[in-house]
Amino acid sequence: MQRSTSRLARITNLRTRTLVTTTALCLTLIYLFRCSGPFNYLVLESDSLERFMNSSPSSQQPPAIINSSVNWGSIKHHHPPRRPLASLPPKTSTPLPRIQHAFKPETPKSSRIRQDRRDAVLRVATKSWQAYRKYAWKKDALRPLTAGSRDQLSGWAATLVDSLDTLYILGLRDEFDEAVAAVAEIDFGYSSTGDVNIFETNIRYLGGLLAAYDLSKRPVLLHKAVELGDLIYAGFNTPNRMPVDSIRLAAAKAGTGLTVESQVVSASPGTLTLELTRLSQLTGDMKYYDAINSLITLFHDNQNLTALPGLFPMYVSMARKDVTTGSTFTLAGCADSLYEYFPKMHALLSGAEDKLVKLTRKFLDAAAKHMLFRPMVPDGDDILIPGNVNIDTEGIPHLDPETEHLACFLGGTFALAGRLLRSEADVKIGARLTRGCVYAYRAFPTGLMPERLNMVACEDASPDGECKWDEAKWVEERSKRPEWKAHLPRGFTTAKDPRYILRPEAIESVFYMWRITGEKEWEEAAWDMFVAVAETTAAGVAYAAVVDVTVEKGAVEREDYMETFWLAETLKYFYLVFSPPDLISLDKYVLNTEAHPFLRP
């Protein structure tokens, strides 16, 4: 009894001291707020998040490093690179321009709203991860409707690796530690399919490992990144040192050389640059940068020789080192991240490579001139949409006003490049492009944008052309489209692929516009999009792809699949919009096409 009374007294004293301390802190904050104007809640919260990001201790012992069954770095290439290897360019003395907006202090009300929204995103992300952990652990992806799993990306736990940095950023430290321990056991010497898609492996797996290492500095993550980087590097063991699109593991193990495909989408080779550059920066091994430097040179030297100078055709031939032959041009799937990586490589190399400035500038100018159009919509909104271009036999370009959700990355890329190249005109184009995708979300009854759609380009299809609504013109254009459906919103002539598969590109551009301009419209657009996405995709044990976003909400059907980029990208971008702007600052990090943040040297 005496021991119990003594314990109660200690607890009472502790509570009293805590109450006094808390009261004093509150009074101090009230005094500061009244005497000094609006209190900067962003700074207070940012300091806490920054401490977590940089110094929060792990609750678990570091996992043992387990080597994969194949040491890809020890395999001698039948087609070795020429010596000496290209080296990373030295940093220039002139710093790059500031990218992020200089945000002002928040009011208490704004801070509460923002944090409530961020917490809502956190709940969705936590539910998604817990479902994956319970029903699909160490598998590539979750089947949310049947509580099952799926392996389609070599069987290396794609969702787990793709989500590593998201777990860290969201503050899910125990979940992160458990995932890191699982990563240590992945065997990159084996693939469930026997082949390895070099593009997906690079952006999801290698990108995920590099970013998680940049954030946490866990040695096992860099070790596994080197293992995987050496496997990807094996894809350059070809007669002309150009990469293959798909690596046959059996042939790669032999080291006798691989055969480059005759034709691949241009994004496949063009999206290897950022990750392999970062791997060279972290390891000091220049073989990775040397490999991609040849790609940069190839695209740079041929940029003005295509049928649409400044842009590259949808398909290229690495076997012939031909990136000019072709008459179909797009900024969407098949080519998107090729262009996305031009300004991002410029940032990662601190502006030290002039070729990247030229690649970026020429791409922006050609895209604005030929690929963007102002769509005819009932209210005359000043928006832009990226289309496709076909070149006829006489060399004349013809715009096809079809776009994809994948193309929604473009607004953020224009804005980012505009800041890096000191071009406010490009930032404004980025805003109009992003508004175009936000418009497409809001136009459909589910609040979601279809995977692929068509609109009507104004008579003056240029970005700055006059654009009045013409009902008869819309009816005429939709009659030409066999895919048109009567329930489509006015202004849209098709929803060729009406699905929403949890894609991130629209919120990606909203995130960039918010961080770059600080305009509130982007924060509000992000919240509207999040509510629509979370409500419409919630199904089974987590969240699932939607079959048709053009129907009323009550008629929505879903597919039994939760893509890895749901946690890796979509929810990360939503979370970052509602977080203090120095959490993964664009002036400190470069995000790869899978939203994996690489620390700028």
DSSP annotation of 77 reads P
The single residue of 162, 177, 200, 563 carrying the catalytic annotation is: 200
Joined together, the tokens standing for residue 145 give 């409707």
Angle between helices 273-283 and 287-302 (to 10 degrees): 150
Give me the chain's average pLDDT, please.
Answer: 93
Find, among 586, 414, 426, 438, the residue nearest to 523 by Cα: 438
Query: What confidence tier does 30 reach under pLDDT thresholds 50, 70, 90?
Result: very low
Burial of 586 (0-12, 13-18, 19+ CB in 10 A): buried
Question: Which of 451, 477, 508, 582 is the catalytic position?
Answer: 451
Out of 505, 508, 569, 582, pick the active-site residue.
Answer: 505
Q: Is 451 part of the annotated catalytic residue set?
A: yes
Specify whether 336 is catalytic.
yes
Note the pLDDT of residue 59.
Answer: 60
Q: Report the distance separating Cα 138 and Cα 133, nearest Å.
A: 8
Kindly tell me if the per-residue pLDDT of 561 is higher than 80: yes
Residue 373 pairs in a beta bridge with: 385
What is the predicted pLDDT for the residue at 16?
44
Closest by alpha carbon to 406, among 486, 339, 460, 316?
A: 339
Annotated catalytic, 381?
A: no
Mean pLDDT value of segment 267-283: 99
Q: Kindly tell me if the per-residue pLDDT of 258 is higher than 80.
A: yes
Rg (Cα) of the chain, in Å, rounded? Answer: 25
State which fold the 57-599 domain adopts: Glycosyltransferase (1.50.10)
Task: Over range 241-259, report the average pLDDT.
Answer: 98
> What does the domain layout of the chain look like in residue ranges?
57-599
What tens digit of pLDDT does each residue of 131-182 get? Answer: 999 999 999 999 999 999 999 999 999 999 999 999 999 999 999 999 999 9
pLDDT value of residue 4: 42
The pTM for the full model equals 0.92
Where residue 464 falls among pLDDT bands split at 50, 70, 90? confident
Per-residue HEC secondary structure of 324-391 comes to: CCCCEECCCCCCHHHHHHHHHHHHHCCCCCHHHHHHHHHHHHHHHHHHEECECCCCCCCCCEECEEEE
CB neighbours (10 Å) of residue 68? 18
Looking at the predicted structure, is the pLDDT value of residue 7 above 80? Answer: no
User: What 3-state DSSP class applies to 486?
Assistant: coil
Q: Does residue 279 register a pLDDT over 70?
A: yes
pLDDT at 5: 42
Q: Which residues contact 281 (CB under 8 A, 6 or more apart)?
A: 88, 348, 601
593 annotated among ligand-binding-site residues = yes
Phi, psi angle pair for 141, to nearest 5°? -155, 160
How many helices (H) and strands (E) in the chain? 22, 18
Options 45, 336, 426, 582, the catalytic residue: 336
Q: Is 505 a catalytic residue?
A: yes
